[in-house]
Amino acid sequence: EAQVTQNPRYLITVTGKKLTVTCSQNMNHEYMSWYRQDPGLGLRQIYYSMNVEVTDKGDVPEGYKVSRKEKRNFPLILESPSPNQTSLYFCASSLWGTSYEQYFGPGTRLTVT
Amino acid sequence: SQQGEEDPQALSIQEGENATMNCSYKTSINNLQWYRQNSGRGLVHLILIRSNEREKHSGRLRVTLDTSKKSSSLLITASRAADTASYFCGIGKYNNNDMRFGAGTRLTVKP
């Protein structure tokens, strides 16, 4: 089954404790992206990647890191999480950039206390 | 802002009625995409319309695009309770692979 998977689905952590949210797709897509969703603000793009070792900032990259060492994986790293990063996070992928439909993962609900 | 802005923020209708949602944007676009999100879950792609297209259909969905007015509309005909969800438009631009979304329209279809 073609899908985007994220882990963990739920995470509660404390300020400053480094964490990684994994994202994997099995569709051989070139493009992968991370979004955060907050009430009243819709989805905001954090980072995206057009290919292995190629990443670019989205709308709200501050406080986040990403890497793309393999085509199928695109982890999101919060090196020093803060409470304002409490949010619902989505990973997505597409065949090639934003000219094609994006497939979204199920989401990761992160709470930073 | 270059993101899409959906209107209205919320819409409540009876089953069987049509629902129309609008999306406005401020920049030149390559394409515009509509997505549906059931509460707290991942977005599901509905329709992609390119800048050189004016209308697309998919089942009970009809999307129009007016690039002169920088706006798009999503029409859901003969709505069902299962259509209850939030609907988002995503803006895809030329020479840029970031995608911007608005805050969405929350549609409630009452049985």
Chain segment B54-79, per-residue pLDDT in tens? 999 999 999 999 999 999 999 999 99
Fill in the DSSP letter of residue B59.
T
Say which range, A15-24, A64-73, A76-85, B100-109, has the weakest mean pLDDT. B100-109
CB of B86 closer than 8 Å to CB of B9: no
pLDDT at residue B7 is higher than 90: no
Contact state of B48 with A105 under an 8 Å Cβ cutoff: no
- Give the nearest chain B residue to A39 (CA atoms): B103
Interchain contact, A42 vs B88, CB within 8 Å: yes
Q: Quick one: pLDDT at residue B93? A: 84
For A41-47, the CB contacts below 8 A with 24+ separation are A41/B103, A42/B3, A42/B88, A42/B101, A42/B102, A42/B103, A42/B104, A43/A90, A43/B43, A43/B88, A43/B90, A43/B101, A44/B101, A45/B98, A45/B99, A45/B100, A46/A76, A46/A89, A47/A76
Q: How far apart are the first and last CA of chain B?
A: 37
Q: Please give the share of chain A, as a percent, with pLDDT higher than 90.
A: 90
pLDDT over 90 (residue A12): yes
A107 vs B88: CB contact, 8 Å cut-off? Answer: no
Min distance A18 CA to chain B CA atoms (Å) = 25
